[in-house]
Chain A
Amino acid sequence: MWRVNHQGQKEFLGGNNDCQGAAQAAEACLNFTPDDEDEQVANEQVSCYNCRYRRWGKETFVCCK
């Protein structure tokens, strides 16, 4: 589900559209914290896509925790 990219960041392998994977990852994460409602993009409440500690890139996001 994750890889360490060339900058040493934890990068999500599912890209920008793996809602199920992002939800599963967030369910298993102790650091999940919902971002402002305006920045949430996944239908699942608990999802890395809705977490304030994700930083979006062009293809996917990196986890900042």
Chain B
Amino acid sequence: MRILICIDDTDDLESVGTGELAEMLAATINNRGWGKTYGVTRHQLLVHPDIPYTSHNSSMCFEADMDEQQVKQFIDYAAEFLGSKSAPGSDPGLCVAILDQIASLENLVDFGRKAKIAVLAKDDAYELARELGIHLSEHGGTGQGVIGALAGVGLRITGNDGRFKGKVYMNTTDGLASVREIRGHTKVDMVRSLGGKVLEDHETVLIEEALKFVLLDGKSVLLVRPHEDMVKESLWRPCSKQQLKVY
């Protein structure tokens, strides 16, 4: 079964970030043989004075393949993990959704999209989770993180929100790599320009630093821009951090 797991509000200014905790949870699933996990994505939610986020109000979501018995085991484990690993004073929330048992994907996606533009209430999150048959739980503080945790699952389901956690390093001899080589050396599904052009295997990308992927059309995508010099036809370079911040 395809499962989506999202956590939010686990950190403070000095602690380990929420993304790292998400990666630790994913590693536990893999290491204990509970299932197989896929990349962690970061989802930006609304920044607003009425929302008590630490510094950026983002939640972290990942997908897993697990059977139902293992999902129950995982929820017990994650509850204890978040209770003990979250920063004192944080308000951690956990959402675990079995994809084909969600009563309305549309309502969940709506909730995720709303969380990017409006201040939502904890009660709304619990009510929707109950209606849709999704596990939602809080593990300390005010438990406000349940809002972002539920929203993060909704946003991941869209397939068009968020950046993948981490960067991918790729060695090249001359600082250049073809799309075919990039796809062969990384887990990226597609190399695409900001304008939406899907690059072909023979096209070339200048590799100056580690690569960062975003979630688009349900795929992990390396976004690129044309190389300014265009010394070589079809030469591209990865988008900068600043360009990726809207994802």
Interface residues of A (CB under 8 A from B): 19, 35-43, 52-58, 64
Contacts and interface: CB of A to CB of B under 8 A. Distances in A.
Interface of B: 13, 17, 19-20, 42, 47-49, 53-58, 163, 165-167, 240-242, 244-245
Given A55-B55, A56-B56, A56-B57, A38 B166 contact: yes
B19 to A, nearest CB: 5
B244 to A, nearest CB: 8
Given A38-B163, A38-B165, A57 B49 contact: yes
Overall SS of chain B's interface? loop
A57 B47 contact: yes
Given A36-B17, A38-B42, A42-B242, 12 more contacts: A19-B242, A36-B19, A36-B20, A37-B166, A38-B19, A38-B58, A38-B165, A41-B242, A43-B241, A54-B55, A56-B55, A56-B57
Contact of B47 (A35, A36, A40, A56): A56
Contacts of A64: 13, 55
10 shortest interchain CB distances as A-B pairs: A41-B245, A36-B17, A55-B55, A43-B240, A56-B47, A38-B19, A38-B165, A38-B42, A56-B56, A43-B242
B242 A58 contact: no
Contact of A39 (B49, B58, B166, B242): B58
Question: For A36, A54, A57, which residue has the most chain B Cβ atoms within 10 angstroms?
Answer: A36
A39 B54 CA distance: 12
Contacts of B167: 37
Contacts of A35: 17, 55
Contacts of A38: 17, 19, 42, 58, 163, 165-166
A47 to B, nearest CB: 10
Nearest to B242: A43
Contacts of A42: 241-242
